[in-house]
Amino acid sequence: KANVTNIKLKPNNYLDAKKTSLAVPIAALLSTFELPALAVTGVNNEPDLITVIIQIGIIAFGYFLIVPPIIMNWLRIRWYRRNLLEMYLQFMCVFLFFPGLLLWAPFLNFRKFPRDKSLKYPWDTPKDPSQVKNAYLKYPFAKPEDYDW
């Protein structure tokens, strides 16, 4: 049979009790900092649902319908004249507004019409292909003005 007097206490038990007794004052100190912050940042001025929906609608309207055609026109106008910084800004905008550009891509067509005035559409084939002037030969020596109409 075990005798109660034979139980020996480890010398570290006193230190463990001291550590756990510090937990309560530390928790009280932390709670004094948390509760005033909760009072200030709590649900004091919560916006109503209609206001949030209107704000999201305005942002979505600009994101999907207004900005993408502007970016596509900017790309079309400055394609052969841009420097490195402008190209970086253009493709950063393409990356940011990619869903809106995908929505507009089927409807905006910036391909140039053929130089032969007898052709109505870019996909038409000329009757005499040797008479159509081709601008591809000037590519290595082209200047930005060569690509204008």
CB 66 within 8 A of CB 34: no
**pTM of the full predicted structure?**
0.49
Token pair listed for 148: 């204008």
**SS3 assignment, position 81:** coil
Single-letter amino acid, residue 148: D
Q: Are 146 and 135 within 8 A, CB to CB?
A: yes
Interatomic CA distance for residues 139 and 74, integer angstroms: 22
Q: Taking Cα atoms as reference points, which of 9, 12, 15, 102 lies closest to residue 64?
A: 102
Instruction: Compute φ and ψ for 42, nearest 5 degrees.
Output: -70, -165
Model confidence over 86-132: pLDDT tens digits?
A: 999 999 999 999 999 999 988 887 766 555 667 777 677 777 766 66
Name the residue with higher pLDDT: 19 or 26.
26
Which distant-in-sequence residues (6+ apart) come within 8 Å of 51 by Cβ? Answer: none
CA distance 43 to 54: 21
Of 66, 72, 59, 63, the C-alpha closest to 106 is: 72
pLDDT at position 10 over 60: no
23-74 pLDDT per residue, tens: 777 777 776 665 555 555 656 667 788 999 999 999 999 999 999 999 999 9
